[in-house]
Chains A and B, each alone.
Chain A
Amino acid sequence: MPEIAGNEHSAARERLAARQAELLNALLAKGPAPAGFDEQRLDVERRALLSKRRGIVRMLGPAVADELGDRFRPLFDAYAVEHPRHAGSRAREDAAAFAEWCRASGELSVNRKARWKFWQSN
């Protein structure tokens, strides 16, 4: 990873990397709380990040959110904590993965066309 400067800077990068990874792991992937942080604030941040992620997935896939209705939020929250976003991944991939996860667990109908046919026949 660190290539630019001398050893001192490499060491600084490594120390920082460990701390940042520990924080994100705690906030996004159920990791242990890093030392020295206010636990309550970690909780606030965890919820804020989750809420933002949920909002983006809802925006990118309104049809999925509509079909899930009230189940959207608890399902998404369950999905999110098990599937933190990988570095460099895009929000759209997150939305697609969530829909796939819902289908795999039977929460979302696999063939959505059938539903539309039902409406059309009315």
Chain B
Amino acid sequence: MVTPMTAQGTQLSPVEVGYLSAGPGRAAETALARLLDAGLVRVSRDGRVSAVHQHGHRGNTPVEARMHKSVQTPVSFNKVVKTAAYSTEMQALHRQLLNDNLMRKARPRAQAWWVFLGAGVLLTVLGFLLPGFFIGAVAFLLIGFWARGSSPVTREGKAVLKNVTASDRVLAVALYGFAGNVASQKVGDLFELSQSVVKMIPLKRKKKSAGSSCGSGCGSSSCGSSSSSCSSSSGSSCSSGSSCGGGGGGS
């Protein structure tokens, strides 16, 4: 897997590329893609992710390791992504990107930023009639620009991103998400994921740049739902009575 280098020459992990590309939600998707790619987790038809039990393998980055640990019992696809996006490991990764000057503390966009811009434009027009308005025009345009917020990705971060191509399926997820397309192919298909599973991740905003919010949509209010991961499925092997095995490890 070829991932881009920063100006300082550090290798970016696909998860970091995902973060730069669309925030912690996308980064979490990328971590899941990494685990799937390495055969460390499997997804069932109803979209439950579970760890593949192998010796020693846990994923390469802290985010991946944490995610692998979180699916020791099956967890639904969207919840895996959501949980990882909000994890302390993901926050650490964000701090790392800030330290590397690939990201900065973003100024959030004010909801009414365009009002200032509009006023600025209006004043500019008026300025041609009465030059005194130009002063106000400049002020409003500046406020508008400021209120528009700033991209959380620095110029260097953007430069790094520009050099990334979807050269493998993990990077395809980092750049476009499971629900995206690459070369007129659905990214989910590269992982043999059905669209019903891919669409479990709510796509709330289609923001290209990363913010402190979840870029590819992990921040739905359903975060607080306390339903268990398999409450909607009919297929748990324990719905009543007992399964045939188990009872082990009585220590």
Contact = CB atoms under 8 A, between A and B. Distances in A.
Task: Decide whether A and B assemble into one complex.
Answer: yes
Interface of A: 44, 47-52, 55-56, 58-64, 66, 90-92, 95, 99, 112-113, 115-117, 119-120, 122
B228 A51 contact: no
B226 A63 contact: yes
B248 A48 contact: yes
Nearest to B218: A120
A112 B238 contact: no
Interface of B: 70, 73-75, 86, 91, 212, 219, 223-224, 226, 228-231, 236, 238-240, 242, 246-251
A59 B251 CA distance: 19
A51 B250 contact: yes
Contacts of B212: 122
Binding site of A, secondary structure by majority: helix, strand, loop or mixed? helix
A66 B251 CA distance: 21
25 contacts: A44-B250, A47-B250, A49-B247, A51-B247, A51-B249, A51-B250, A56-B238, A56-B246, A60-B228, A60-B230, A60-B231, A60-B236, A60-B238, A62-B229, A63-B226, A63-B228, A64-B226, A91-B239, A91-B240, A112-B224, A113-B224, A116-B224, A119-B86, A120-B86, A122-B212
A58 B250 contact: no
A90 B238 CA distance: 8
Given A59-B230, A64-B228, 10 more contacts: A51-B248, A51-B249, A56-B246, A59-B73, A91-B239, A92-B231, A112-B226, A117-B224, A120-B219, A122-B86
A91 B238 contact: yes
A52 B246 CA distance: 6
Q: What 10 pairs between A and B have smallest CB-CB spacing?
A: A113-B224, A47-B250, A48-B247, A116-B223, A48-B250, A52-B246, A119-B86, A59-B73, A52-B247, A116-B224
